[in-house]
Amino acid sequence: MILIVTSDDDTHADRVEAALRARGADVARFDPAWFPREATLALAVGGGGVGGALAYRDEVVELARVRTVWRRRPGQPRAGMELIERESAAVLADLWELLPVRHVPGTPDAIAHASHKARQLLVAGGLGFELPNTLVTNDPDAFLDFYAPGTITKRAAPSQRLTTADGDEALVRYTEPVRPRDLVHVEDLRLCPVLVQPYVEKRLELRVTVVGERVFAAAIHSQASNHTRLDWRRYDDARTPITPFALPAEVADRCRALVRELGLCYGAIDLVLTPDDRFVFLEINPNGQYLWIELATGLPIGAAVADLLEA
């Protein structure tokens, strides 16, 4: 059985689940947000391994039948009480780590470990990727020593999305240039660390999606629009073409190696192709979205995910 762990409104999972069912695969879908109010877990642990069942709605998943877990965009347990939600989340985290199955893109612990920005840079640099000089700091003096015209800042945390305590998205923090006028407020840096880098000149931005041993590269023509010139995530779809890109073999091999080194079997990697044809590593999202790339380019990433889940 393939267990897809994600929310009800995940279009990526919808498409892959339909493809798997069309192939005759045994598939179940579960969102941790249903636990414990709408789901029950009976987890048996002993010398013979892990057994028991996860039951929710009209589905009963015998844990011994699960061969692959795809962790896509799961919600958090909901019970109306913070203590119970924390307890429920801890129980499910234990379950995922215990199941002796293939985890895509990896176990929750592996995903969390791979999401650390500075660690990503260290591992990527060790594999031969070119990196921007990077400082993570809340020290105003260290920031000023590093600063030069063209400096940018990013969140040091894994995601650019900032959320409220109840999990609702509040705002998105994109890559931002440091203007001379911003230096007046440098003391405010003490209250929140940031990741600081020199701006990398771009000819193209590359989104490289690694699925198992398969590598799908797409070029984001972000410099075609002033809106996306600094950060393509500001989106200007009408003026920002996205096209398939032929990645050099050695760069593709490095991308595969990075995903493996981080304990994953899937990853969405952001690179910059500079005007003088250098490939510079920015970051990897262990569970990055890919459907927008597939729809824009026709690259069969979803089918490759289905293949990986079935393998």
- pLDDT (tens digit, 9 = 90+) per residue, 222-276? 876 665 766 666 656 677 889 999 999 999 999 999 999 999 999 999 999 999 9
**Is 272 in contact with 122 (CB distance < 8 Å)?**
no
Burial zone of 269 (CB within 10 Å; 0-12 exposed, 13-18 middle, 19+ buried): buried
pLDDT at 306: 98
Residue 298 has pLDDT above 90, yes or no: yes
Tokens at 187, concatenated: 């003391």
CA distance linking residue 266 with residue 106, whole number of Å:
8
CATH for 201-310, among 1.20.120.1200, 3.30.470.20, 3.30.70.100, 3.30.1360.120?
3.30.470.20
- pLDDT (tens digit, 9 = 90+) per residue, 76-126? 999 999 999 999 999 999 999 999 999 999 999 999 999 999 999 999 999
pLDDT at 49: 83
Give the pairing type, strands 204-211 and 27-30: unpaired
pLDDT at 34: 96
Q: pLDDT > 90: what percent of the chain?
A: 83
> What pTM, to 2 d.p., does this model score?
0.91
DSSP letters, 81-119, are: SHHHHHHHHHHHHHHHHH--SEEES--HHHHHHHT-HHH
CA distance linking residue 150 with residue 202, whole number of Å:
13
CA distance linking residue 131 with residue 15, whole number of Å:
35
- pLDDT (tens digit, 9 = 90+) per residue, 148-177? 999 999 988 876 666 555 555 567 778 889
- pLDDT (tens digit, 9 = 90+) per residue, 108-117? 999 999 999 9
Tokens at 74, concatenated: 């799961």
Identify the helix (H) or strand (E) that includes residue 296: helix 291-297
Q: How many CB atoms lie within 10 A of CB 46?
A: 7
105: nearest Cα among 278, 284, 292: 284
278: nearest Cα among 99, 131, 88: 131
pLDDT at 199: 94
CATH for 2-104, among 1.25.40, 3.30.310, 3.40.50, 3.90.1200?
3.40.50
Highest CATH level, class, for 133-198: alpha beta
Residues 6+ away with beta carbon under 8 Å from 3: 27, 28, 29, 30, 61, 66, 68, 69, 70
Tokens at 180, concatenated: 């001379």
The single residue listed with the structure tokens 């600081």 is 196
Mean pLDDT, residues 275-295: 96
User: What are the domain boundaries of the chain?
Assistant: 2-104, 133-198, 201-310
pLDDT at 161: 60
